[in-house]
Chain A
Amino acid sequence: MTTVAHLHEGTDAPYALSHLDALESEAVHIFREVAGEFEKPVILFSGGKDSIVMLHLALKAFAPAPVPFTLLHVDTGHNFPEVLEYRDRTVEKHGLRLHVASVQEYIDAGKLRERPDGTRNPLQTVPLTEAIQQLGFDAVFGGGRRDEEKARAKERVFSLRDEFSQWDPRRQRPELWQLYNGRHAPGEHVRVFPLSNWTELDVWQYIAREGIELPQIYFAHEREVFKRSGMWLTAGEWGGPKEGETTEKRLIRYRTVGDMSCTGAVDSDATTLDAVITEIAASRLTERGATRADDKMSEAAMEDRKREGYF
C-alpha cells in the first residue's frame, strides 16, 4: 500500500503529485478544516464505496489519533444485509460511534407513508434532517461527487443548509481558493463533500491503490433478480417481484449501494478490483444513469431532493 507520493527523479517535474495523490491531499485538507472549525461533525456512512473511501481518508487524516467524528446511517429498512454487516463490522473495527436513523421506524410510527412505487430513497430526507437537528450536528460529511449528476456538479465543497436543511443553489457562497467558509447560524449546518472532485473511476482506483475492503455486492456474484423499469432488482421481502415479474439467477454486480427497491444491478463478470476498474473505464453509462431509478423520476429529480435536504 502506497500512501505517499514519491519524487519522480529525472523528470521535468520532480515535485509532481499524481492525480490520486492530489485528490487525496485535498480531501484530507477538507476533513481537517472541518475538525478545526466545527463543534459536532458527523460522517454519513452507508457502507457504500464513497462513504467507505471517506472513512478511509478520515482515518488517514487524523492518524495516529482516532477519527474525531461520529457516523450516521439513514437506514431505509431495505438495505442489503451484506452491507449492514459490513457497516457494523467497520464501526466496531475502528472503535467508532454510529447513529442510525430508521425510515422503517418513521413508517411504523405513522410519521412517513410508504410510496405507491415502494421506493424508499426519497423517504430518507425526513429521518436524516431530523437526526441532524436532534443530535445537533453542525457539519455533515457526504460522499457526493460532482461527476454523479448535473445538479451535484453545482454543489459546493462546503454547502450551507438552513434550519430546514434546505439547499438553495442561488444562495450558494462562492468558493474561492481552498478557503472554505463554514460559518453558520445556530440551527443551520454545513454539508461537506470531500470527494467533490473525484470521479467514479478515481474512487475505484483509490480503493485498489489503498487495498480497501468493500462489501461483496460490488463484485460479480450470482443472485436472484427480476427486471423492473429496465433494471435488475434483487428479489426480497421489500416488495419484489410483483405479479408478472419473474426472477432469474444472473451473474451481476452493483455499482452503487442504496435502497434495494431502486438500486439496480449490472450484468458483470468482474470479480476483482482490476476487472471492475477495466469495466468502468469502458462503460458508456454513468453510475447513476445505469442503476438508480430515483434519479430518473424527472430532469431535476436530484436538484429537487437536494433542495429539500437530501444528501
Chain B
Amino acid sequence: MTSTTDQVAGLDDLAATTLLRFATAGSVDDGKSTLVGRLLHDSKSVLTDQLEAVEAVSARRGQDAPDLALLTDGLRAEREQGITIDVAYRYFATARRRFILADTPGHVQYTRNMVTGASTADLAVVLVDARNGVIEQTRRHAAVAALLRVPHVVLAVNKMDLVGYEETVFAKIAEEFTAYASDLGVPEITAIPISALAGDNVVEPSAHMDWYGGPTVLEHLETVPVSHDLTACPARFPVQYVIRPQTAEHPDYRGYAGQIASGVLRVGEAVTVLPSGRTSVIEGIDALGESVDIAWAPQSVTVRLRDDIDISRGDLIAPSASAPATTQDVEATVCHVADQPLAVGARVLLKHTTRTVKAIVKEIPSRLTLDDLSQHPEPGQLVANDIGRVVVRTAEPLALDAYADSRRTGSFLLIDPADGTTLAAGMAGEAFAAHAHEAEAEAVRADDAGWDF
C-alpha cells in the first residue's frame, strides 16, 4: 500500500505535515490584526494579488502603509466600521505544519465568537499590550480558553518596542497571567515577548531581547504537540448514518458510519450500544473503502458488528469495558450565543454528537462574571454572551461525558425549536479544571490523565 504522493518527487514533506488549529484573541488595539498579518505575510501566505488589493485600498484612503487588517476583514460592514465582527478562518503553511487560524474578534460583545473560534482550537494566542499589562479583557480571554479546555495557551506580550524591550515588564505580565490562567486550570501556558509591528519574535527571533531564550510565535506553533496518545482514552463512536447498500453485490452489508470522537477501536472488541445497552463485538472496520484492524480519533470510518441489533443515528458505540453512563439530567456550563434570552422553563432542543432530543431548562443556578470569575446566583435568564451554569432535563437518555474528559462527547448545543436558532454552547460537568480539582479531588484528576484533546 503506497501513497501516490510517494511518486511526487520532493513533495513528501508537504504531504506528511500535521494540522494545527488555533485561535487568536486580543482587545481592539492590541495589534491582533498586525500579528495575524505578519504571520501570514512572513510565512509567505499573502499572495501578490491580495497584497496589491490591500495596498490599493489603503492608498485610496490616504493611509501611509498597507493596512494589513484589510486582509482579514472580509465583510462590507467590517471594512466600513474598521472592526472585526465575525470569526474568519485563515490558512497558511510552513514546511513543518499546516495551520487553520480562527481569527476571532476582540470586542466584549462578541465573546460568543471567541467561543466559536476556541471550540475547535488546539491552541489559543492571547494578545496583551505590554504597556497595559493584564487587563479585564485578558482575563476574559483566559477564562474562555480555560472554559473551552483549549489545551495550549500562548500569551503574546505585544508592543515590547514601546516599553524599551524591558525584560522586567515582560516578566511581570507573564507571571501575573500564568498565575491567573493556571488557577483556571489551563494546562500549558507559553509566554512570548513580541513586537508584531517590528517583527520581533513573531517569525524571526528578536535582536532586541537577548534575555529571551524561548521560541518565536511561529516556532512554537510549528512544534507544539497536537496529536495526543489517545490509547489511554475510552473510545466513543457516535453513529451518524447506517449504510445498507441492499445491492446484489452487498445484499447483507450493514455498517454504522461515523467519526471516532475519542480513543481507538479494534476489530474483535466487545462493545455496548447506548442508550439501549445492547452488546456485540466489532466484526470489521471499513476506513473509507479499506478494511482495517484498528482505527482512531478523528478518523471517519464504518463499523460492522457481529450481531444484527437495532442501531440508528444518534446511538453511541463504546467499548463495553469503558462505556459511559447515560443520564437525562445534564448539568453544564453554557455560553449563550443568541440574541433571544434563555430563561428557566424554556423548552429547547439539545444536540449532542449525532443525537438531537427535546429538553427543558430546569434551573439556571448562576451566571459567571468573566472579569472576576464571581458567580451571580439565580439570574433567571441568560442573554447574549452570558456564561452560566444550567440544569437541563432531556426527554431521552444521553451518553454524555464530562467536557473535561472529551471536548467532543461532552459538548452540546441548545437550539430554539421554533426557528432553529443556536441558543447556547454547552459543556457538561464542571466549569473550570481548577474548580473540578478542588471539588472532586483525586478521582477527577485520575480520570483526567491521558484525556487531552
Query: Which residues of chain A have a CB within 8 Å of any CB of chain B?
Result: 1-7, 12-26, 28-29, 32-33, 35-36, 60-66, 146-147, 149-154, 160, 169-170, 172-179, 181, 183-185, 196-197, 199, 201-202, 205, 208-211, 273-274, 277-278, 281, 283-286, 289-290, 299-300, 303
Contacts and interface: CB of A to CB of B under 8 A. Distances in A.
A15 B119 CA distance: 22
Contacts of A153: 72, 74, 88-90
B59 to A, nearest CB: 13
Query: 7 tightest CB-CB pairs across the interface, nearest first?
Result: A183-B420, A289-B49, A150-B74, A16-B227, A65-B245, A13-B227, A28-B300
Contacts of A210: 4
Contact of B5 (A61, A205, A290): A205
Contacts of B243: 62-65
A58 B294 CA distance: 23
Tell me whether chain B's interface is mostly helix, strand or loop, or mixed: mixed
Nearest to B242: A36
A166 B380 CA distance: 36
B222 to A, nearest CB: 13
Given A153-B74, A201-B93, 14 more contacts: A3-B287, A6-B1, A15-B296, A24-B288, A35-B241, A36-B241, A64-B245, A150-B88, A154-B74, A196-B89, A209-B5, A286-B49, A286-B50, A300-B75
B86 A154 contact: yes
Contacts of B258: 29, 32
B47 A289 contact: yes
Interface centre among A19, A205, A290 (most CB of B within 10 A): A19
A292 to B, nearest CB: 11
Contact of A179 (B4, B16, B112, B351): B351
B105 to A, nearest CB: 11
Given A36-B354, A178-B408, A208-B8, A299 B53 contact: yes
A303 B14 contact: no
5 contacts: A19-B97, A21-B299, A63-B289, A64-B247, A277-B8
B413 interface: yes
B374 to A, nearest CB: 25
B412 interface: yes
B285 to A, nearest CB: 10
Interface stretch (B158-166, B249-257, B364-372): B249-257
A151 B5 CA distance: 32
Contacts of A184: 420
B422 interface: yes
Interface residues of B, number: 97
Contact of A175 (B116, B286, B351): B116
B292 A4 contact: yes
Given A18-B17, A33-B240, A199-B91, A209 B4 contact: yes
B48 A61 contact: no
B420 A150 contact: no
Contacts of B288: 3-4, 24, 28, 60-61, 63
A151 B75 contact: yes
B208 interface: no
A181 B422 contact: yes
Contacts of A289: 47-50, 53
A210 B288 CA distance: 12
A146 B408 contact: no
A286 B71 CA distance: 13
Given A60-B289, A64-B245, A274-B9, A178 B240 contact: no
A178 B11 contact: no
B337 interface: yes
Interface in B292-315: 292, 294, 296-300, 313
Contact of B47 (A33, A64, A286): A286
A155 B151 CA distance: 26
B250 A64 contact: yes
A197 B120 CA distance: 12
B337 A285 contact: no
Given A154-B75, A181-B420, A19 B98 contact: yes
Contact of B354 (A33, A175, A181, A277): A33
Contact of B74 (A1, A33, A303): A303
Interface centre among A4, A12, A197 (most CB of B within 10 A): A4
Contacts of A283: 47
A25 B227 contact: no
Nearest to A150: B74
A210 B3 CA distance: 8
A65 B292 CA distance: 18
